Structure 1
Amino acid sequence: MDEWNLGLETLNEVALNRLAEMLDNSNCGWRQLAAAFKEQSKFFCSEKEMTSCSLQVLNARGSPSRYLLSLLAEKKCPLALLLQCLKKIEHHNAASLLTTYVEPIKILTNPQTVQVPIGSTVTLVCKAVGPPGLTYQWFRKKEEVPGGNASELILKPAQEGSYICRVNSEGKYVFSGWAYVRVFRPYDSGSEVSFPSSVSRLCITEQPRAQLLSEGDTLLLECSAQGNPPPQFQWYHNQQPLLKAIRHFIKIPCVTTADRGVYRCRVFTPNHELWSDNVQVEIGPGSCAEAYWEANDEHKADSLPRQMGDLYATDKVALLMGNMNYAHHRELRAPMADVYELSNLLRQLDFKVVSLLDLNRHEMHRAVSEFLLLLGRGVYGLLYFAGHGYENYGNSFMVPIDAPASYTSDHCLWVQDVLQRMQERQTGLNVFLLDMCRKRNLNDDIIQQPGPLKVTANIVFGYATCVDAEAFEVNKDDLSNGIFMSFLKKRLMEQEKVTVMLDRVAEDMGRCELTRGRQALELRSNLSERRTLTDRIQAPECPVMASTRNLQWSIAHALPESRVLQFDCGVKVQLGFAAEFSNIMIIYTRILETPADIRTCSAELSDFTEGPEVDLKRTNQASLRDAGSLLLVMDDRLQQEQPRLFTRLCALQRLKNELSFTVCLHFQYDNLDEAVHEQRNVTVGKPLVSKLNLHEPHRLHTSTASFSSDLQSTSMPLYSSFAQDLQASLPSFTSASFAESTDACFYTHPGISSASDLRRINEPEENISPEFLMSVEPRASKSLTHAAVDKPPNFSHFHSF
């Protein structure tokens, strides 16, 4: 049958949800179904995809089976193959249900228009074929006929009017043609009888009207029509039919610029059709999220003008990338300090920050894709890049660390493409801060043609330098800052419109004698509202959106849980973990307890899993500075009577398997001169950004789940293998409950109810674990020391990016 050759994506939501309900079990369910595809390599699910399915239980409305079906639909799995696999695992109910939805319903006999004398009996017949269990519903105009649940409708006596039959099968249905029953008196039998027929005249009595709206307004279009039988309606937007828009009007609350365009309505009966006028709907800038909040705020008067602070973000997300150690180009120093300081400032503004250093081309593309998953309607998105870059023909390109000597746009990340993808997420604000050169790349003669950008009036570009100019670094002690960041960090926290804040940064740079004529900030913007980076976060209409965004962000920011190792000799060693960036982690070891007969003792780490970058000369160092960390320098806060050894792991995004290493204990007994060694192997899972597997090929994004293109309708999963680590590292999750599953214990998030909850979940990013410091430091202590931050920059040495 042709229907079985169609893809799984052709099934409607009702069918998919019903199948998911049947497959959400441990005996004969989604796991067995996934295993049935083993021989079909194209449709076989990886271990990671199976884990993502399992994690759907974290959402109260999540379904592992529904997620699996979404994956199969994305892979274009044919319905015939799905049916074959359902039969293979002997899930007969699901196979029957699928058959019901796929087999078409066909009307073989339509009811006929009749004319009968008053008091007569009329039988209307509708016959159909299709899947088993067809049911019938008869209607007189829009009212269901009592007892009309068979293929034959017997009217005794006949009642005049329009009749239609609906044939149902599970979630599908088909309407028959209309039949008109005309009742006349006997003395009229000799006269010409005229009565409305199914081919009576169809006409539109009211046309829709063009509208000019702002984002957040409600769109209402109406199209009235008359006909016999009663007409049906189908609305179209930009020549595409709108799902479920089958009434004489459409109402779209909280419109965005994506809703602008041409609308028209198709009015039809079984024998006629008419089209309404084309109407243009224009939508100017605004905030749909703000419209929702204002509509639900009883204390806000409609007449109040829009003031600073009236605008909100549904969330704030930032991706910060700094490239320093280039393979074929001059190495840079500034990105590390710049990304670190900007991370601290943005966290204080309640941004969820992902900070990454030294990414290759593939990792940059994957990082941006993961960043886009955190965006959604009304979210403020900020992307910062520090490193080598260039600009050709108005297009900006960020250069990864593996770019060849003569690189082109094919080797780089295209900024305008990222912007276009951000717009698809219906963000409330898009901010790009590009701390890179904008010189022409003479090796690249390709003129990129970006797709059409939406007129959203919410875009801000802050370039560290102007067109065809360079950006510079400035030396400061052991750290180095870019000139742009040296001035930006002084203004970033100001409660001013983003463009006003950047204008002031430009003015500060212009007043500096050493930068004048060398580097000048350039601002490009179409921001029409007074949006600031300090705007408050207001929970979205659906509280699940905020919860799932926090969970997805937490995937890349969960540290391993601190642990104590008990060696056979009686020595206890503590392992602790701290994050310097989202892809750089510090491991420290500390001797907690030593038996009385052991004179000296030390614990060192070795034999690390392949993937992360570990400088063997800087492992097991007595200070963070010696270990290579110039930022988390806080030896003065540690109790020196308890010595620690520090090891710094970089490039965690390249960790393919779980991180493991060996703890080597070296000790000496009082009565022995020879040293004794003891080893323990330790596995700590996949810490921080390594859980996102940025090294893998780009994953498929479905439209209904975590790694999906729409956060507004679904939740994002939490990686089950580190659920307990998250419980320890995220304070706001301590009240979570645990639900038993056939496979594992899954962590259940209790939900987020206030902005304060959002801030609490935002705090753990790149925090140092509690064991790392003897006391919890205040939030402001996340920044560099005041001596380092406030020291006037030294511009004596310029280094071009």
Structure 2
Amino acid sequence: MHTTSSIRNLILISEVPQEILNRLISYLRNDGESGWRTLVYHLQQRDHLFSEDEINSFETIHAPTLVIEGLKKRNKTVDYLLSFLHLLPCRCAAEKLANDLWMLEKSQQKFMSTPMPECSKYSSVGPSYVPNGHSTHAQPNHLFDQAMFSSLNNLNKPSKPYISIMKQPTPQSVKIGDDLMLVCKAEGDPVPVHYQWYKDGHMLPNQNKHVLMIGETLLEHQGFYYCHLRSPNPPAVEKRTDEVFVSVVLAPSATPFCATNKVALLIANEHYAHNPRLPATSHDIRALTKILQEDLGFKTLSFTNLTYTNMMSAFILFKDLVSSGCYCVFYFGGHGYENDGKCFLVPIEAPPDYQNHDCVQAQSELENVKRRGDPNLMLILLDICRKRNPMNPTSHQSNGSSFADKVVFAYATTESAEAYEKYGEKHGIFVDSLRKHLTTPIRVNHMLSDVQDEIKKSDVQISEVKSTLSENRCLTDKIQLNDVKAIKAYKEVDRIWNSLHFTPLPVLLKFEACDAEVTISFTNILTNAVNISVNVIKCGKGVECKPFICTNYFGNLVVSHCSSEFEPQSCQVSNLEHLQEHLPVTVGFRYKFPSEEQWHLLRYTYSMRLPFIKLWNDAKPKRS
């Protein structure tokens, strides 16, 4: 006779109705620590279940479906899947699957002999929580029913387990440096109730009390929080509190104004095919990205060295991030000019005698952005020359900006003048002044006035500011979400931005010839640039190991910031927009045994699949 456990081991995932699997898939469709990525990680750690090609294929919106299909093809059982689902920090997916299977058995109305505890969205009873034992009732004929029956008939609880939330956490607005406190209170049976706090879907380590305390709050603590509640013993009951938004304020605001989100598009063109190089721009964009993102809470799209078509693609992506009531910033550093009040931004492939049709007309594209999202503040920073382009005829008309209110233009220089980079200086004059004042908690116009005063000290150029902003808005204003529409828009922007900046988890390479292990790690530098590094985790006894990145395998991508000229262990790879499918990363590995003088060489190529590539290709415009 089969035991309960052995019978359940025979239930194949392929026997489970697709409707139940679809609900499980919806639980796993997130990038948090309780999503499909963590499930795949545990499957690989223990059983090396999927091939590299299969793992690469998971980097799509259909990833959870492909994972479940992979398990079905391998004839894995429900019990096998549950054993891994229980390893996730949030066990809602495991509980939901177990509950759905029990509800399926109940709906057949064959073998129920005792009432079952009620189940809700966050509470369930399933086979993985029932002690082994033998049923005294008539056995069903179908193997699936038999397993469910054997597992479920062992329950003998005198009362129904429950969790009741007595106090929900509330939205907070805290200043940087202050303490953040969120409170959740619950009662239940059995006791005590276990608490676990999450931020943006990720479990917070060591935050497992009913009060969440964070001392000296930083901008990175801004986001959505909730607490996951769980009863201590089986049959398990789980609940989740309301999700609340915590806004972190840089400094006390001069007014009660706030934003629904903060987004920025930054483009820096340094390497021109037919025009002089501008070396400071690559440093400028990194400095501004860091300040806007880390100090002011902006979601930044940052690109270097874009062609005309790619600049238009960047504007299309930017429009997807702009929503009603947000603050948005646009920055361009590179060659440019101004004709009839309109500024033209020069792409990297423009000919030396470029004309209007070779360039991007800034005001036109930014007006499209503003119409799309209706931001409450639009700051436009143009680090370009504003001299007339003699290659274009003069229209003798002033066709300047037709923007409505809430827009501020800050030019690196005045009309008909040039913008400069100081020889030997890391940053251009305009950005060097900007980065000193952007985080000042005063009205944007007043902040830019301080920038103008700073630039005057250079005795080279004078900045100009034009504004239709009538309100006292600051870049330091907090983000506040007051309605469902604003919350939905914020989360959608967050989803798009995270997809554009996704990088895979570190990849572990094993070289059995010398008992060595090496990791390849990836970090976003800009939206179209990634830092790649290799590190030795383990090397055989007495063996010398030297991993390195093969920089000559990146094709037409730009490789820079290498840790060394020869066989570097880290480097930055830019212009990811040139990729069509994936980024091939080739790692070289040199090793030498103690008794040998000759080095051995191995190579391994990892195909790095990035959601950015598909999103970028989808945004490519058709140039008329």
Give the shorter-chain TM-score range: 0.5 to 0.7
Q: Could you tell me which of 476, 487, 491 is aligned with 2:437? A: 491
Note if contact 2:379-2:409 (Cα within 8 Å) is conserved in structure 1. Answer: yes
Equivalent residues of 1:611, 1:656 under 8 A apart: no
- Return the letter of the residue paired with 1:391: E
The one-letter code sitting in structure 2 at the alignment partner of 1:430 is M
Provide the residue aligned with 2:475 in structure 1.
Answer: 533
Q: Please point out which of 693, 699, 702 is paired with 2:616.
A: 693
Matched AA of 1:444: N
* Corresponding residue number in structure 2 for 1:379: 326
Structure 2 counterparts to residues 276-425 of structure 1, below 5 A: 308-347=254-293, 348-424=295-371, 425=373
What displacement does 1:600 show?
A: 4.9
The separation in 2 between residues aligned to 1:610 and 1:509, in whole angstroms, is 40
Which of the residues 491, 494, 498 maps onto 1:554? 498
Uncovered stretches (5+) of structure 2, i.e. residues with no partner: 1-20, 23-58, 66-252
> Counterparts in 2 of 1:134-145, with a 5 A limit?
none
1:440-483 superposed Cα distances (whole Å, 9 cap, x missing partner)? 0011227599999776310100001000000011245xx52111
Deviations 1:297-322 (A, max 9, x none): xxxxxxxxxx9331111101011111
Alpha-carbon RMSD:
3.3
Residues 322, 336 of structure 1: 8 Å contact kept:
yes
> Match for 1:443: what amino acid?
M
The 1:690/1:675 distance shift into structure 2, 3 A limit, reads: same
Over 3 Å counting, the alpha-carbon distance change for 1:454 and 1:53 in structure 2 is: farther
Q: Distance in 2 between matches of 1:56 and 1:396?
A: 47
| Aligned-partner SS, 2:314 | helix
- Work out whether residues 573 and 603 of structure 1, in 8 Å CA contact, stay in contact via their aligned partners in 2: no
Query: Residue 167 of structure 1 corresponds to which residue in structure 2?
Result: none
With over 3 angstroms needed to count, the CA separation of the structure-2 counterparts of 1:444 and 1:487, relative to structure 1, is: same
Q: Would you say 1:545 and 2:489 are equivalent positions?
A: yes
- Aligned with residue 467 of structure 1, among 415, 433, 440: 415
Which residue of the partner structure matches residue 668 of structure 1? Answer: 592
Q: Does 1:651 align with 2:575?
A: yes
Give me the whole-angstrom Cα distance separating, in 2, the residues matched to 1:572 and 1:502.
Answer: 52
What code does the residue aligned with 2:621 have? H
Task: Quote the Cα distance in structure 1 between the aligned partners of 2:60 and 2:608.
Answer: 20
Decide whether the 8 Å contact of 2:341 with 2:399 is kept in 1: no
Matches within 5 A, 1:20-31: none
Give, in angstroms, the shift of residue 333 of structure 1: 1.5
CA distance in 2, matches of 1:311, 1:362: 37
Tell me the residue number matched to 2:202. Answer: none
**Does the 8 A contact of 1:317 with 1:353 survive in 2?**
yes
* Partner SS for 2:343: strand
Matches within 5 A, 1:186-197: none
CA contact (8 A) 2:310 2:620 kept: no
Query: Which structure 2 residues correspond to residues 732-743 of structure 1 after superposition, within 5 A?
Result: none
Offset at 1:646?
A: 1.4
Shift of 1:699: 8.0
Conservation of the 8 A alpha-carbon contact between 1:589 and 1:646 = yes
Of 380-389 and 575-584, more deviation after overlay is shown by: 575-584
Q: Distance in 2 between matches of 1:573 and 1:56?
A: 28
Over 3 Å counting, the alpha-carbon distance change for 1:440 and 1:614 in structure 2 is: same
- Conserved 8 A contact 1:556-1:691: no
Letter of the 1:677 counterpart: L
Aligned 8 A contact 1:584 1:649 in 2? yes
**Counterpart position of 2:602:** 678
Following superposition, the deviation at residue 648 of structure 1 comes to: 2.3
User: Contact 1:493/1:534 (CA < 8 Å) preserved in 2?
Assistant: yes
Query: Taking structure 1 as reference, are residues 562 and 538 closer, same or farther at Cα in structure 2, changes over 3 Å only?
Result: same
Residues 191-270 of structure 1: pairs in structure 2 closer than 5 A: none
Cα pair distance change 1:670/1:313, threshold 3 Å: same
Match of 1:222 in 2: none
One of 430, 449, 456 as aligned partner of 2:378: 430
Indicate how the Cα distance of structure 1 residues 374 and 55 shifts in structure 2: closer, same or farther if over 3 A, else same: farther
Q: Distance in 2 between matches of 1:376 and 1:400?
A: 27
8 Å CA contact 1:601, 1:668 repeated in 2: no
Give the match's secondary structure for 1:614: strand
Kept in 2, the 8 Å contact 1:363–1:694? The answer is: no
Aligned equivalents of 1:683, 1:56: Cα separation in 2: 20
Structure 1 residue 405, shift from structure 2 partner: 0.8
Shift of 1:324: 0.8
1:43-192 paired onto structure 2 within 5 Å: none
- The 1:326–1:606 alpha-carbon spacing in structure 2 relative to 1, beyond 3 Å, is closer
Change over 3 Å in CA distance of 1:448–1:419 after alignment to 2: farther
Cα distance, 1:436–1:608 mapped onto 2, change above 3 Å: same
More helix by proportion, 1 or 2? 2
Render the CA deviation track for 1:480-537: whole Å, top value 9, x for unaligned. 2111112222211111111111112112323x1x42xx31111111111111111111
2:477 partner letter: D
Cα distance in 1 between the residues matched to 2:353 and 2:315: 24
Whether 2:530 is the aligned partner of 1:585: answer yes
Flag structure 1 segments of 5+ consecutive residues without an equivalent.
1-24, 27-50, 58-306, 628-642, 701-801
Give SS of 2:553's match.
Answer: coil
TM-score normalised to the size of structure 1? 0.44
Q: Give, as a single letter, the amino acid of the residue that structure 2 aligns with 1:367.
A: A
- The 8 Å contact of residues 332 and 381 in structure 2, kept in 1 or not, is answered as yes
Shift of 1:355: 1.4
Match of 2:389 among 436, 441, 446: 441
Residue 336 of structure 2 aligns to which amino acid in structure 1?
G
> What is the Cα deviation at residue 606 of structure 1?
5.3
Q: Residue type matched to 1:328 in 2?
A: H
Alignment CA distance shift 1:607-1:405 (3 Å): closer
Which residue is equivalent to 1:574? 519
Q: Quote the sequence identity (%).
A: 28
Secondary structure of 1:485's counterpart equals helix
Post-superposition offset of 1:381:
1.1
Residue 519 of structure 1 aligns to which amino acid in structure 2?
Answer: Q
Q: 1:491 to 1:52 in 2, by over 3 A?
A: same
Contact in 2 for aligned 1:433/1:463 (Cα 8 Å)? yes
Listed one character per residue, the Cα deviations across residues 14-40 of structure 1 (whole Å, up to 9, x for unaligned) are xxxxxxxxxxx99xxxxxxxxxxxxxx
- Rounded Cα–Cα distance in structure 1 between residues aligned with 2:618 and 2:386: 29
Residues 318, 382 of structure 1: 8 Å contact kept: yes
CA distance in structure 2 between the aligned counterparts of 1:582 and 1:450, rounded to whole angstroms: 36
TM normalised by structure 2 equals 0.56
Query: Given the alignment, which residue of 427, 447, 462 partners 1:520?
Result: 462
Moved more, 315-324 or 645-654: 645-654
Give the secondary-structure state (helix, strand or coil) at the position aligned to 1:473: coil
Equivalent residue letter for 1:527: L
Encode CA deviations 1:736-792: one digit per residue, 9 max, x unaligned: xxxxxxxxxxxxxxxxxxxxxxxxxxxxxxxxxxxxxxxxxxxxxxxxxxxxxxxxx
Deviations 1:203-229 (A, max 9, x none): xxxxxxxxxxxxxxxxxxxxxxxxxxx
Contact conserved, 2:413 with 2:463, CA < 8 A, in 1? yes
Residue deviations 1:30-74 (CA, integer Å, cap 9, x gap): xxxxxxxxxxxxxxxxxxxxx9885999xxxxxxxxxxxxxxxxx
